[in-house]
Amino acid sequence: MKENGFQENTITKEIFEAWTSKRIYERDKTCENRRNTFRQLCQYIVRSGGDAYVPPAMAWAYRPHIFTNEELRKFLDAAREMERSKKRQKVFYMLFSLLICTGIRLGEALSLEKSDISFYNGHAVILIRGAKFNKERKIPLAEEMTAQFKEYLEETALLFPDSTAVFPAGHGQAYSEHEVYVIPQSALESRNLPWRRGERAEGE
């Protein structure tokens, strides 16, 4: 903690917030547990005669960031222009487009196999397996999205000929949720877009 100005038996508010801020890949409960643990450490330091910031014990509510249409456009532009890999650009652009247009969960999208995609009357239909309560559901795509998705599947079939995943990483296996949370950070920051999953707000 020295880089944050930590001195023995002293924890400032800035240090506390730096150590307890939400990581991009974290669940809400994980962040809350770390905050509570660090708060207890600060209480111990105070009882031992040290100087530490102890935030008030109160309910905390998760406040997500709601993207505007303009921010979503910038988000997709950032995905399309990600550095290092043209393959990754295609995969992430389509992944985020699908999430935005359908509202399916990230884990559901990443678990999609090519066999889960079918076409009826000019529309793509996505089969979501193992959804909530272990139920399956089908999601039809609009005509414009269908055309975009069909072109994407044709391109990735050439780029990843041995992969059955709809959203494959370089090794051919599907991206993990952790990779999706971590990789786009620089692209989002370059567009001045928030990349953290919401923030903590004091509950009423």
More confident residue, 128 or 27: 128
Tell me, yes or no, whether 197 lies in a domain: no
In a domain, 201, yes or no: no
Answer yes or no: do 119 and 171 share one domain.
Answer: yes
CATH number where 98 lies: 1.10.443.10
Domain match, 99 and 31 both: no
Position 132 pLDDT exceeds 70: no
- Looking at residue 127, what is its pLDDT? 93
Q: Are residues 117 and 179 in the same domain?
A: yes
Which residue range(s) make up the domain with 26?
A: 10-52
State residue 93 phi and psi, 5-degree precision. Answer: -60, -45
Shared-domain flag, residues 87 and 159? yes
Alpha carbon distance 18, 53 (integer Å): 12
How high does pLDDT run on average in the chain? Answer: 82
| pTM score of the predicted model | 0.65
CB atoms within 10 A of CB 199: 12
Query: What pLDDT score was predicted for residue 184?
Result: 67
Shared domain for 80 and 23, answered yes or no, is no
Lookup: tokens for 130: 């193992």
Residue 78 has pLDDT above 80, yes or no: yes
Q: Find the range with the poorest average confidence among 5-14, 50-59, 76-85, 129-138.
A: 5-14
What is the tally of structural domains in the chain?
A: 2
Q: Which of 174, 194, 202 is nearest to 67 (CA)?
A: 194
What is the DSSP secondary-structure string of 72-102?
HHHHHHHHHT-SS-HHHHHHHHHHHHHHHHH
Q: Distance between CA 160 and CA 167 in Å, rounded? A: 10
> Does position 183 have pLDDT exceeding 70, yes or no?
no
147 and 75 assigned to the same domain: yes
Q: Do both 115 and 46 map to the same domain? A: no
Q: Which pLDDT value is given to residue 147?
A: 94
Q: Look at residue 144 and tell me if it is in a domain.
A: yes
- Same domain membership, residue 90 and residue 26: no
